[in-house]
């Protein structure tokens, strides 16, 4: 390619990649595979390294992945970033309209939009000639904090507009307002991971989003699943401005912003009331938290003509849903034992209704939380329930603390087995470290048989408890020793049910190795890490013989998880369980059905890093090829790497290997080493 062609290809790539980013992160409808996407990015990076002058601030290569910023700069908003007056029922909405119709009688015949009121943080985004140049928090409405660098880590924030090649031309200067938040499911996943690692759980999606957005380290922001929805054009200079809110949303969408879905267009106030109530019902099924609906006069000029009271524009109103937060008495504090032995305190409450559901228990997160918030038994506490999230205690109401309130101290012994509890350095959690603890065993078994792990149908929590209580099962391996005679003794069991259960247990032996590893309940080893370990080791025998050094070399496995894996395999109790499992034939292999069994293992003991494209192999195929022949594939080159396998257009690993003097093989070299005839 000549220079002119390369330069125009570079510009084209920026546009193409931006479009794919948008499809993936905003529309959730990718049209190319991850590998094809990576290839486009690699091509762009290569051209940009050749023509650094052509790197534009909106290039996908400039998306910030990390780094520490100085203190946040204060920035003046181009216009006050207003708030909203609240209404709580149909009457409030009707009287809002009556009030403003007195100021401007035309309002009575106006149409409206009803949008979800997102429970996140307001952000104000500035674009000059289509390029994202500044982003700020709302602050006090006049002055906000500049968080441009952090905002750039949000995949749903367009670095330049329009995102689509055929999108409308951007105005010279555009300022938009939107909301940054975390989806409920992502929030729960985040906390599941924290719990697995024995680390502090986050309290609410909103706080977590706020903390991430205002973090001094953009890498932290980048690691949180923040999303952005945009709903207002604050300023638009040098191009036509939409006349209505509906058109604004449409234009914002055409520029490539993500805007709230299912906006309702209402022709009179009764339709508005209906739409607000409908949002209240839809609320629970939305992926994110909303705390109300926002009603706006659709015609922007008409809305603006009504002016402002305090910080609230008259042309819009927030319809707030009934409280998801209530207060009640904390009767007592109970303690749950999780499958990894983590002790989690929970509040036993005087039953109370929150958002239409009766709540009797709520989580207290961990013992530090009780102490930090000074929560005492018999305190009146605030309880919050958000969407599907488990209700949690926010804190005590100190003003009404009764004299009878009692300070709580964490138990010294496990409430289930009465063995002494322990802490792990650097973690807030308390653990029961007794491997024979019945509560842990029940949780462990529950996890072992659950749908996401070995999927043993018919083995629910009640039955698990029964099996443990009767002493029939003392560890997961005992499941494979259950006999028909044992089962029919149990309550509610007949011949057929017993046979079905035994068949289901037997069929768990067919599950993939990755699920088996996940099922073992090693701290920090979830579905993803389980799969990583399975592809790396291919067999339980190899995994069991692993070392700390080897584990940390695997992509996606940090030192904490690596240590947890090593510790788990080192425990005699676990070794005993593994021996029993193996004896019963519960010992899956990765390539059991790929015909790889019995292949000679000429690459045994060698470790490989792969870079570039190989003509005869896909990336996955070359990994399989090496692993099936006994070799290990690792992600990063180090002095311990045996060989670098390098194809066309290798990456930075090539230079690293050369620097360390690691021998480099091409495809033929690899095949030769593996003993293939040339
Ligand atoms: S419009 C003058 N629309 O609710 C325009 N606000 O209680 C005022 N919010 O600070 C904002 N979703 O952060 C608007 N669809 C939406 C919204 C929304 C959430 C937030 C916004 C504002 C707060 C007001």
* Cα 261 to Cα 116: distance, rounded to the nearest angstrom: 8
SS3 26: coil
SS3 335: strand
Which region among 241-250, 365-374, 384-393, 557-566 has the lowest average model confidence (pLDDT)? 384-393
Distance from the alpha carbon of residue 136 to the mean position of ligand 1, in angstroms: 15
**Does the structure show a pLDDT above 50 at 660?**
yes
SS3 301: helix
Annotated active-site positions, please?
A: 117
Residue whose CA lies nearest to ligand 1 atom number 2: 82
Residue whose CA lies nearest to ligand 1 atom number 18: 117
Distance from the alpha carbon of residue 308 to the mean position of ligand 1, in angstroms: 15
| pLDDT given for residue 298 in this prediction | 97
**Does the structure show a pLDDT above 70 at 131?**
yes
Distance from the alpha carbon of residue 461 to the mean position of ligand 1, in angstroms: 44
CA of 260, closest atom in ligand 1: 15
Residue 37's pLDDT band (boundaries 50, 70, 90)?
A: confident
DSSP string across 110-142: --EEEEEEE-SEEEEEEEETTEEEEEEE-TTSS
Residue 323's pLDDT band (boundaries 50, 70, 90)?
A: low
Residue 678's pLDDT band (boundaries 50, 70, 90)?
A: low
pLDDT tens-digit map of 464-502 = 999 999 999 999 999 999 999 999 988 888 889 999 999
Q: How far is CA 510 from CA 454, 506, 514, 581, in A?
A: 9, 8, 12, 13
CA of 81, closest atom in ligand 1: 2
Contact between residue 362 and residue 383 where contact means Cβ atoms under 8 Å apart: yes
* Cα 81 to Cα 443: distance, rounded to the nearest angstrom: 50
Distance from the alpha carbon of residue 351 to the mean position of ligand 1, in angstroms: 33
Residue whose CA lies nearest to ligand 1 atom number 10: 83
Of residues 217 and 272, the one with the higher pLDDT is: 272
Q: Quick one: which of 578, 559, 580, 558 has its CA closest to 568? A: 578
Q: pLDDT over 70 for what percent of the chain?
A: 95
Which residues have CB under 8 Å from 527's CB, separation 6+? 452, 514, 518
Q: What is the dihedral of CA 511, 513, 518, 519, to 10 degrees?
A: 50
Q: Quick one: which of 66, 14, 21 has its CA closest to 156? A: 21
| pLDDT given for residue 614 in this prediction | 82
Bridge partners of residue 230, in order along the sequence? 178
| pLDDT given for residue 252 in this prediction | 97
Residue 250's pLDDT band (boundaries 50, 70, 90)?
A: very high
| pLDDT given for residue 628 in this prediction | 80
Residue 592's pLDDT band (boundaries 50, 70, 90)?
A: very low
| pLDDT given for residue 389 in this prediction | 63
* Cα 247 to Cα 298: distance, rounded to the nearest angstrom: 9
Residue whose CA lies nearest to ligand 1 atom number 6: 117
CA of 122, closest atom in ligand 1: 13
Q: How far is CA 185 from CA 121, 189, 202, 372, 524, in A?
A: 18, 6, 13, 27, 19
The best mutation among 87, 88, 118, 288 to test binding of ligand 1, ranked by most ligand atoms within 8 Å of the C-beta, falls on: 118
Residue 531's pLDDT band (boundaries 50, 70, 90)?
A: confident
The two three-digit tokens of residue 147, written as one number: 């968080």
* Cα 422 to Cα 367: distance, rounded to the nearest angstrom: 13
* Cα 397 to Cα 560: distance, rounded to the nearest angstrom: 38
The best mutation among 117, 119, 233 to test binding of ligand 1, ranked by most ligand atoms within 8 Å of the C-beta, falls on: 117
* Cα 93 to Cα 554: distance, rounded to the nearest angstrom: 58
| pLDDT given for residue 340 in this prediction | 80
Average pLDDT for residues 127-132, to the nearest whole number?
Answer: 96
Q: Peptide bond preceding 9: is omega within 30 degrees of 0, i.e. cis? A: no
pLDDT tens-digit map of 58-99 = 888 877 544 433 468 889 999 999 999 888 889 999 999 999
| pLDDT given for residue 35 in this prediction | 61
CA of 86, closest atom in ligand 1: 7
| pLDDT given for residue 66 in this prediction | 41
Q: How many CB atoms lie within 10 A of CB 365?
A: 22
Helix/strand/coil (H/E/C) assignment for every residue in 407-456? CCCCCCECCCCCCEEEECCCCCCEEECCCCCHHHHHHHHHHHHCCCCCCC
Average pLDDT for residues 418-438, to the nearest whole number?
Answer: 85
Tell me the pLDDT of the chain averaged across its residues.
88
The upper half-sphere exposure of residue 79, i.e. CA atoms within 13 Å in the direction of its Cβ, equals: 16
Distance from the alpha carbon of residue 301 to the mean position of ligand 1, in angstroms: 18
Residue 594's pLDDT band (boundaries 50, 70, 90)?
A: very low
**Does the structure show a pLDDT above 50 at 416?**
yes
| pLDDT given for residue 386 in this prediction | 64
Average pLDDT for residues 362-385, to the nearest whole number?
Answer: 92
Residue 30's pLDDT band (boundaries 50, 70, 90)?
A: low
Q: Quick one: which of 242, 590, 675, 431 has its CA closest to 250? A: 242
pTM: 0.53
* Cα 365 to Cα 264: distance, rounded to the nearest angstrom: 38
Of residues 396 and 199, the one with the higher pLDDT is: 396
Residue 40's pLDDT band (boundaries 50, 70, 90)?
A: confident
What residue ranges in 340-427 does DSSP mark as E strands? 342-354, 357-363, 380-384, 392-396, 421-423
Average pLDDT for residues 232-237, to the nearest whole number?
Answer: 96
**Does the structure show a pLDDT above 70 at 627?**
yes
CA of 119, closest atom in ligand 1: 19
Average pLDDT for residues 246-271, to the nearest whole number?
Answer: 95
| pLDDT given for residue 403 in this prediction | 93
The best mutation among 175, 179, 213 to test binding of ligand 1, ranked by most ligand atoms within 8 Å of the C-beta, falls on: 179
**Contact residues of ligand 1, CB 6 A cut-off:** 82-84, 115, 117-118, 122, 179, 231-232, 260, 294, 313, 316, 318
Q: Regarding beta strands 112-118 and 121-128, do their DSSP bridges make them parallel or antiparallel, or are they unpaired?
A: unpaired
Distance from the alpha carbon of residue 62 to the mean position of ligand 1, in angstroms: 30
The best mutation among 79, 84, 313 to test binding of ligand 1, ranked by most ligand atoms within 8 Å of the C-beta, falls on: 84
Distance from the alpha carbon of residue 84 to the mean position of ligand 1, in angstroms: 7
Q: How far is CA 641 from CA 200, 605, 654, 676, in A?
A: 36, 11, 12, 22
Q: Quick one: which of 330, 421, 423 has its CA closest to 381? A: 330
**Residue bearing tokens 């002494």:** 420
Distance from the alpha carbon of residue 292 to the mean position of ligand 1, in angstroms: 10
The two three-digit tokens of residue 556, written as one number: 């996606």
* Cα 195 to Cα 206: distance, rounded to the nearest angstrom: 19
Which region among 37-51, 217-231, 249-263, 285-299 has the lowest average model confidence (pLDDT)? 37-51
* Cα 112 to Cα 52: distance, rounded to the nearest angstrom: 49
Residue whose CA lies nearest to ligand 1 atom number 4: 117
Distance from the alpha carbon of residue 117 to the mean position of ligand 1, in angstroms: 6
Average pLDDT for residues 549-556, to the nearest whole number?
Answer: 83
CA of 315, closest atom in ligand 1: 2
Of residues 589 and 134, the one with the higher pLDDT is: 134
Residue whose CA lies nearest to ligand 1 atom number 17: 117
- The helix/strand count (H/E) of the chain reads as 24, 24
Element (H, E) at 176: strand 173-182
Residue 33's pLDDT band (boundaries 50, 70, 90)?
A: low
Average pLDDT for residues 310-335, to the nearest whole number?
Answer: 89
Longest dimension (CA), the chain: 92
State the DSSP code for 73.
P
| pLDDT given for residue 388 in this prediction | 52
Of residues 150 and 653, the one with the higher pLDDT is: 150
CA of 116, closest atom in ligand 1: 15
């Amino acid at each position: 390619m000549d220079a002119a062609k390369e330069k125009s290809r570079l510009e084209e790539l920026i546009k193409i990649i931006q479009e794919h980013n948008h499809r993936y992160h905003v529309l959730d409808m990718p049209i190319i595979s991850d590998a094809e996407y990576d290839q486009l990015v690699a091509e762009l990076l290569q051209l940009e390294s050749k023509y650094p002058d052509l790197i534009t601030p909106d290039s996908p290569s400039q998306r910030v992945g990390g780094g520490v910023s100085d203190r946040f700069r204060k920035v003046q908003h181009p216009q006050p970033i207003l708030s909203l007056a609240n209404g709580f029922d149909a009457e409030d909405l009707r009287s809002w309209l009556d009030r403003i119709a007195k100021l401007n009688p035309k309002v009575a015949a106006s149409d409206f939009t009803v949008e979800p009121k997102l429970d996140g943080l307001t952000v104000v985004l500035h674009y000059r000639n289509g390029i994202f140049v500044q982003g700020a928090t709302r602050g006090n409405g006049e002055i906000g904090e500049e968080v441009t660098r952090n905002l750039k880590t949000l995949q749903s924030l367009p670095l330049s507009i329009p995102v689509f090649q055929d999108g409308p031309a951007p105005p010279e200067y555009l300022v938009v307002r939107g909301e940054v938040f975390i989806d409920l499911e992502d929030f729960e996943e985040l906390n599941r991971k924290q719990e697995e690692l024995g680390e502090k759980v986050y309290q609410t999606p909103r706080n977590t989003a706020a903390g991430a957005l205002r973090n001094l380290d953009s890498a932290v922001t980048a690691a949180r699943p923040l999303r952005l929805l945009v709903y207002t054009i604050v300023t638009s200079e040098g191009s036509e401005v939409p006349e209505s809110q509906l058109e604004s949303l449409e234009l914002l969408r055409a520029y490539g912003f993500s805007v709230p879905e299912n906006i309702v267009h209402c022709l009179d106030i009764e339709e508005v009331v209906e739409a607000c109530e409908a949002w209240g019902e839809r609320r629970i099924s939305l992926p994110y938290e909303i705390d109300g609906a926002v009603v706006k006069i659709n015609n922007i000029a008409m809305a603006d003509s009504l002016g402002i009271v305090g910080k609230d524009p008259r042309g819009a109103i927030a319809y707030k849903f009934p409280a998801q937060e209530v207060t009640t008495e904390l009767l007592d504090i109970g303690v749950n034992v999780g499958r990894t032995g983590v002790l989690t305190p929970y509040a036993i409450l005087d039953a109370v209704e929150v958002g239409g559901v009766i709540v009797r228990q709520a989580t207290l997160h961990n013992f530090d939380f009780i102490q930090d918030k000074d929560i005492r038994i018999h305190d009146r506490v605030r309880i919050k329930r958000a969407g599907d999230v488990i209700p949690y205690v926010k804190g005590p109401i100190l003003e009404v603390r009764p004299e009878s309130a009692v300070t709580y101290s964490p138990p010294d012994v496990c409430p289930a087995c009465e063995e002494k509890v322990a802490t792990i350095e650097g973690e807030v959690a308390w653990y029961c470290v007794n491997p024979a603890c019945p509560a842990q065993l029940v949780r462990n078994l529950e996890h072992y048989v659950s749908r996401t792990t070995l999927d043993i149908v018919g083995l629910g929590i009640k039955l698990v408890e029964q099996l443990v209580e009767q002493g029939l099962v003392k560890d997961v391996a005992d499941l494979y020793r259950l006999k028909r005679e044992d089962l029919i003794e149990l309550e509610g069991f007949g011949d057929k049910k017993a046979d079905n259960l035994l068949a289901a247990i037997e069929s768990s032996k067919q599950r993939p190795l990755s699920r088996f590893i996940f099922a073992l309940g090693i701290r920090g080893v979830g579905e993803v890490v389980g799969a990583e370990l399975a592809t790396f080791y291919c067999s339980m025998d190899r995994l069991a013989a692993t070392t700390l050094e080897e584990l940390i070399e695997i992509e996606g496995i940090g030192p904490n998880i690596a240590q947890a894996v090593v510790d788990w395999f080192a425990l005699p109790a676990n070794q005993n369980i593994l021996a029993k499992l193996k004896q019963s034939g519960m010992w899956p292999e990765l390539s059991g059905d790929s015909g790889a069994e019995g292949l000679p293992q000429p690459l045994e003991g060698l470790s490989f890093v792969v870079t570039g494209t190989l003509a005869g192999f896909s990336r996955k195929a070359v990994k399989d090829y090496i692993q099936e022949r006994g070799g290990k594939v690792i992600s990063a080159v180090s002095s311990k790497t045996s060989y670098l396998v390098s194809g066309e257009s290798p990456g930075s690993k090539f230079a690293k290997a050369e620097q360390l003097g690691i021998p480099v093989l091409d495809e033929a070299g690899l095949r030769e080493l593996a003993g293939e005839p040339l």
